[in-house]
C-alpha cells in the first residue's frame, strides 16, 4: 500500500557531527481565511516542542523505539489567524548524554498535514532551520555521583543568546534550508526509513502552571541569609554575589521550572534540584541512615543534579527543555541578580483519581494521598521506577503500577502501552529485557515472569485481549514461551543467567543466593506458568484436570525445611519472606487451602524480610491479618515528612518509587476485598476484611460504573455494576448487579 505521508523527515545538517544540540524549525505563511480544522501529524528525534503563533500546542513524541516511533496528531486551526502565521518547532538531540529511556536514530523533524490544504506546511515545504547557539548540555551533579542517575544532561542556557525560552525564534539565529533525511513511512511499509512510524497510544502529558509558590528555607549548611524562614517567594527576590538560597515546594514535583531573572550580563546562576536535604557530614550517601525528616534543613546540604543559567540584558525567561523532579531547589549566584518570578509548570501522565477509600483511622487518608501522588509522579509517557534518578519502565515496578491504574480509574491506555512496549523488548533467548524502552539492554530474568503476570492482569481488568475472550480457560502461548525461556536459563551456569533480582534485601544486593535457581525465583516461574495455563476467573470455569496436573508437577518440587519453603534445585537456600509469599500465591491459584503466615518459623530462621516492593505480595497472602498493622513502615515515612513514598527502607536513594504506592491496592483488594474473577472484570469477588476498622467506604471506578463496598456497625452496603461473589465469615453468595445490604 502506498504511504499516506506527504512529508519527509528533515534535519539541520547532513553531517552527523552536527546532530547534538537545540534546533529551531519555522514556517511563516499567510492565510486569507482560517480553516475550520487543520490536523497535522508531528514527530521528531529526540524530541520537540511545537508552537503556533507563539503558543505551545504539543510536545513529544511519546517514547518508543526505532521500530515503533510515535507521532502525535495535533489540531492547529484553533491557533491560526487571518494574515501572517508562524509555526515553530524546537527540536533537540542530547546525543550520548540522552536519558537511558531515549532511543534515537539521528536528529530529525517531521510535520505532515492531513488532507490537501496548505501543502507548503509539509516538511520540507517552506520550512527553515537554525541552530540555537548558547544552549549546551553537561552532566552536572552535586553529591549524587555514587547513585545511578540516567535521565539526561543538565542544561546550560545562555540568556545573552536567547533571552526568552518561550519565544524561540527571537534572537540572532542563522536561518537556512533544512537537510532532507528520508521519507516518512508507517511501520510495515515496504520502503526503508530510520523511523517506523506508529500513532501515539496515550494522551498528551499534562502541562499546567502550579498555583502554589515555594518558600524560602533558612539554616542549611552555607546559608547566606537571603529571605526569612517560610517566606513565600512571590516576586523580586534579590541575590548578591556568592549567595545561596534554598526554596521548598513542600511536596515533590515533576515540573518544568521557569525562571524570570535579571542581573549583570554574564552572571551565572547554578540550580540544584533535590528530593530532600542530606546530612552535611555524610561522605557516602549509600551508607546514610540519617536523612530522616525531609522538612528539616538545619545544618544540612542539598545534593542533586543541576542546570546553569547565564543572564543576559534585561529580564530573561529561561526554562530547561526537559522537566525536573524536585521538592527543594537551591540557587547559587556568581553575581548580583534578581529572581522576579519562579514558575513550576507541572507535567506527567493525566492519571485519573476516580476511586476513593475512606475510613475511621486518620492516618489512612494521608497514606492514600501520598500513595496517589507517588503513583502520579511515576507515570509519564511510560511508567517510571522513579522520576528523579532513572525514569525507566522496569517490569517489576510496572506490574504494581498497572494494577494500581486498574483500580484508580477507568483509563487503560498506560497499562496497555506498558504491556505492549515491554513485549517489544523480547530477545532471541525468549526473555524480555528488564526495562523498556532503553538504549542499553539490561536483563532481569524474573522480571520476564512478572510480564507474564501482567498479561493475565490485563485479561482480568481490561477489555483489550491478548488471548481469545471466548475461551474460558485459555493458554497464553506467548507468556508460556517466556516462562519456558526462564526454565531453560535456570539450567545455565550462574554467571550466565544475567541479574536475577528479586528484592532489595540488603545482604542480597538484589539477587538472592542461588540466582536463577533461588527458591523465590523458581517458584515465581511456577506462578507464571499458572498464569499462562489456568484462569483466575470463577473457579467453576477452570479445567480441573489441568489444575490437577499442574499441582502434581509443581508441589513435589517444593520442600519444607523447619516450616519454610525450599525449592529442590536451590543450591544456596536461605529462608525468606519473599519465597513464603510466592508459595502462598501458588496455593491460592491452585485453589488449595493457603498455609497460615509462618511468623514463628521466620523469626527462628532470622529470615530475610520483604522490603517495600515485595511486601505487596506478602500482604496478598496473609489471610485474615489486620492489614492496617502492616502499614507501619508507611506511617514512619509520613512521620519523616516524605510527600511521596521511598524506594526502600533506609539507607535509601529515591524518595519516590512507584512500587511503594501499593497501599492503594491493599485498601481495595484486601480491606474491601475486591478483585476480578471474570474476563474484563465482568464478574467480581468481594471478600472484605475490615480488621480493626470500625468503618470504611471503598469506591472503585469499575469499567461498568462505580463498585462500592461500605462497612459500618458490622453491616455492609455493596453496590456493584456486575455480578459479584460476596464472601464473609465463611459464607458465600452471588450478588446480581445492584445495591445490597448485608449483615
3-state class (DSSP) for residue 249: strand
Are 124 and 14 contained in the same domain? yes
pLDDT computed for residue 2 by the predictor: 46
Are 361 and 438 contained in the same domain? yes
Distances (CA, A) of 105 to 193, 328, 393, 423: 10, 35, 21, 21
Are 559 and 623 contained in the same domain? yes
Span 370-408, pLDDT tens digits: 999 999 999 999 999 999 999 999 999 999 999 999 999
pLDDT computed for residue 148 by the predictor: 87
Are 108 and 229 contained in the same domain? no
pLDDT computed for residue 709 by the predictor: 99
The answer to whether position 231 is within a domain reads yes
pLDDT computed for residue 144 by the predictor: 82
Query: Rounded to an integer, what distance in angstroms lies between the CA atom of residue 216 and that of residue 304?
Result: 18
**Count of domains forming the chain:** 3
Beta bridge partners of 180: 10
The answer to whether position 123 is within a domain reads yes
Q: How far is CA 47 from the centre of its chain?
A: 19
The answer to whether position 160 is within a domain reads no
| Closest of 687, 694, 520, 479 to residue 608, by C-alpha | 520
Q: Of the residues 300, 327, 348, which one is the last residue of a structural domain?
A: 348
Indicate if the pLDDT at residue 285 is higher than 70. no
Are 44 and 12 contained in the same domain? yes
Indicate if the pLDDT at residue 309 is higher than 70. yes
Interhelix angle 477-489/519-533, rounded to 10 degrees, is 160
Read off the pLDDT of each residue in 332-359 and give the average, rounded to a whole number. 98
Span 73-126, pLDDT tens digits: 999 999 999 999 999 999 999 999 999 999 999 999 999 999 999 999 999 999
Are 196 and 211 contained in the same domain? no
Indicate if the pLDDT at residue 332 is higher than 90. yes
The answer to whether position 551 is within a domain reads yes
Query: Rounded to an integer, what distance in angstroms lies between the CA atom of residue 252 and that of residue 344?
Result: 12
Are 98 and 216 contained in the same domain? no
pLDDT computed for residue 142 by the predictor: 85
Which cell is 221 given?
549548611
The answer to whether position 150 is within a domain reads no
| Closest of 69, 31, 23 to residue 49, by C-alpha | 23
Span 28-44, pLDDT tens digits: 999 999 999 999 999 99
Are 197 and 217 contained in the same domain? no
Residues 6+ apart with CB under 8 A from 284: 146
The CATH number assigned to the domain holding 295 equals: 2.60.120.260
CB 656 within 8 A of CB 326: no
DSSP states along 452-515: HHHHHHHHHH-SS-SS-TT-SS---HHHHHHHHHHHHHTTS-GGGS--------TTTTTS-TTG
List b or e across 368-402, with b for residues whose CB sees 16 or more CB atoms inside 10 angstroms: bebbbbbbbbbbbbbbbbbbbbbbbbbbbbbbbbb
Are 518 and 616 contained in the same domain? yes
Mean pLDDT of all residues belonging to the chain: 94
- pTM as predicted: 0.96
Q: Of the residues 329, 348, 367, which one is the last residue of a structural domain?
A: 348
CB 23 within 8 A of CB 12: yes
Range of the structural domain that residue 329 is part of? 207-348
The answer to whether position 582 is within a domain reads yes
Indicate if the pLDDT at residue 349 is higher than 70. yes
Are 361 and 280 contained in the same domain? no
Residue 499 or 544, more confident: 499
Are 271 and 361 contained in the same domain? no
Measured in degrees and rounded to the nearest 5, phi and psi for residue 288 equal: -80, 120
pLDDT computed for residue 196 by the predictor: 97
**How many other β-carbons are positioned within 10 Å of the β-carbon of residue 491?**
10
Are 191 and 227 contained in the same domain? no
DSSP states along 155-174: EEEETTT-SBTT-TT-SS--
pLDDT computed for residue 465 by the predictor: 65
The answer to whether position 734 is within a domain reads no
The CATH number assigned to the domain holding 540 equals: 1.50.10.10
Indicate if the pLDDT at residue 253 is higher than 60. yes
Span 9-19, pLDDT tens digits: 999 999 988 99
The answer to whether position 121 is within a domain reads yes
pLDDT computed for residue 544 by the predictor: 85
Amino acid at each position: 500500500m502506498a504511504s499516506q505521508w506527504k512529508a519527509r523527515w528533515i534535519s539541520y545538517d547532513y553531517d552527523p557531527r552536527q546532530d547534538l544540540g537545540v534546533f529551531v524549525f519555522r514556517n511563516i505563511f499567510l492565510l486569507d481565511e482560517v480553516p475550520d480544522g487543520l490536523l497535522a501529524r508531528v514527530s521528531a528525534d529526540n524530541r520537540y516542542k511545537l508552537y503556533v503563533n507563539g503558543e505551545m500546542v504539543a510536545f513529544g513524541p511519546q517514547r518508543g523505539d526505532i521500530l515503533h516511533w510515535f507521532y502525535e496528531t495535533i489540531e492547529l486551526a484553533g491557533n491560526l489567524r487571518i494574515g501572517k502565521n508562524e509555526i515553530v518547532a524546537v527540536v533537540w538531540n542530547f546525543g550520548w548524554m540522552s536519558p537511558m529511556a531515549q532511543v534515537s536514530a539521528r536528529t530529525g523533524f517531521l510535520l505532515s498535514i492531513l488532507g490537501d490544504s496548505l501543502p507548503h506546511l509539509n516538511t520540507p515545504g517552506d520550512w527553515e532551520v537554525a541552530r540555537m547557539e548558547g544552549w549546551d548540555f553537561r552532566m552536572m551533579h552535586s553529591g549524587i555521583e555514587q547513585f545511578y542517575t540516567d535521565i539526561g544532561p543538565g542544561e546550560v542556557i545562555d540568556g545573552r543568546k536567547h533571552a526568552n525560552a518561550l519565544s524561540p525564534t527571537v534572537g540572532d539565529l542563522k536561518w537556512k534550508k533544512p537537510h532532507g533525511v528520508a521519507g516518512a513511512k508507517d511501520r510495515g511499509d515496504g520502503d526503508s526509513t530510520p523511523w517506523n512510524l506508529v500513532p501515539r497510544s496515550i494522551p498528551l502529558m499534562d502541562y499546567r502552571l502550579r498555583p502554589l509558590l515555594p518558600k524560602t528555607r533558612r539554616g542549611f549548611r552555607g546559608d547566606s541569609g537571603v529571605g526569612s524562614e517560610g517566606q513565600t517567594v512571590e516576586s523580586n527576590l534579590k541575590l548578591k554575589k556568592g549567595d545561596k538560597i534554598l526554596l521548598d515546594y513542600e511536596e515533590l514535583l515533576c515540573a518544568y521550572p521557569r525562571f524570570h531573572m535579571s542581573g549583570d550580563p554574564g552572571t551565572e546562576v547554578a540550580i540544584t534540584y533535590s528530593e530532600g536535604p542530606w546530612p552535611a557530614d555524610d561522605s557516602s550517601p549509600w551508607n546514610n541512615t540519617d536523612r530522616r525528616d525531609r522538612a528539616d534543613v538545619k545544618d544540612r546540604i542539598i545534593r542533586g543534579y543541576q542546570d546553569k543559567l547565564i543572564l543576559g540584558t534585561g529580564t530573561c525567561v529561561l526554562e530547561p527543555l526537559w522537566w525536573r523532579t524536585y521538592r527543594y531547589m537551591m540557587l547559587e549566584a556568581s553575581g548580583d541578580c534578581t529572581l522576579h518570578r519562579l514558575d513550576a509548570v507541572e507535567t506527567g501522565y493525566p492519571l485519573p483519581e476516580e476511586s476513593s477509600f475512606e475510613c475511621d483511622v486518620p492516618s489512612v487518608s494521608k497514606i492514600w494521598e501520598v500513595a496517589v501522588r507517588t503513583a502520579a509522579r511515576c507515570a509519564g509517557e511510560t511508567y517510571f521506577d522513579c522520576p528523579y534518578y532513572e525514569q525507566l519502565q522496569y517490569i517489576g515496578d510496572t506490574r504494581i503500577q498497572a494494577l494500581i491504574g486498574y483500580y484508580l480509574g477507568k483509563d487503560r491506555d498506560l497499562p496497555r502501552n506498558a504491556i505492549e512496549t515491554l513485549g517489544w523488548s523480547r530477545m532471541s533467548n525468549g526473555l524480555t529485557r528488564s526495562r523498556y524502552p532503553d538504549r542499553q539492554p539490561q536483563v532481569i530474568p524474573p522480571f520476564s515472569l512478572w510480564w507474564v503476570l501482567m498479561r493475565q492482569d490485563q485479561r482480568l481488568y481490561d477489555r483489550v485481549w491478548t488471548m481469545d475472550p471466548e475461551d474460558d480457560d485459555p493458554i497464553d502461548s506467548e507468556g508460556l514461551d517466556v516462562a519456558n525461556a526462564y526454565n531453560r536459563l535456570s539450567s545455565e551456569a550462574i554467571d550466565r543467567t544475567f541479574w536475577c533480582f528479586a528484592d532489595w534485601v540488603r545482604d542480597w544486593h538484589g539477587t538472592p543466593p542461588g540466582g536463577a535457581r533461588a527458591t523465590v525465583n523458581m517458584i515465581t516461574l511456577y506462578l507464571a506458568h499458572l498464569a499462562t495455563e489456568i484462569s483466575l476467573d470463577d473457579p467453576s470455569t477452570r479445567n480441573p484436570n489441568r489444575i490437577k496436573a499442574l499441582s502434581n508437577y509443581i508441589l513435589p518440587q517444593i520442600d519444607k525445611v523447619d516450616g519454610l519453603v525450599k525449592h529442590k534445585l536451590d543450591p544456596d537456600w536461605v529462608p525468606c519472606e519473599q519465597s513464603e509469599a510466592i508459595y502462598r500465591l501458588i496455593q491460592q491459584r491452585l485453589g488449595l487451602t493457603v498455609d497460615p503466615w509462618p511468623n514463628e518459623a521466620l523469626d527462628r530462621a532470622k529470615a530475610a524480610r520483604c522490603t517495600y516492593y515485595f511486601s505487596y505480595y506478602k500482604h496478598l497472602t496473609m489471610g485474615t491479618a489486620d492489614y492496617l498493622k502492616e502499614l507501619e513502615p508507611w506511617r514512619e515515612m509520613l512521620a519523616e515528612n516524605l510527600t511521596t513514598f521511598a524506594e526502600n527502607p533506609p539507607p535509601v536513594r529515591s524518595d519516590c518509587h512507584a512500587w511503594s504506592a501499593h497501599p492503594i491496592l491493599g485498601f481495595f483488594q484486601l480491606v474491601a476485598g475486591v478483585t476480578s474473577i471474570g474476563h474484563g472484570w465482568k464478574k467480581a469477588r468481594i471478600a472484605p476484611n475490615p480488621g480493626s476498622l470500625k468503618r470504611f467506604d471503598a469506591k472503585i471506578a469499575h469499567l461498568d460504573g462505580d463498585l462500592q463496598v461500605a462497612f459500618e456497625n458490622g453491616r455492609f452496603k455493596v453496590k456493584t455494576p456486575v455480578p459479584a461473589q460476596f464472601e464473609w465469615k465463611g459464607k458465600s453468595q452471588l450478588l446480581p448487579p445492584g445495591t445490597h445490604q448485608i449483615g
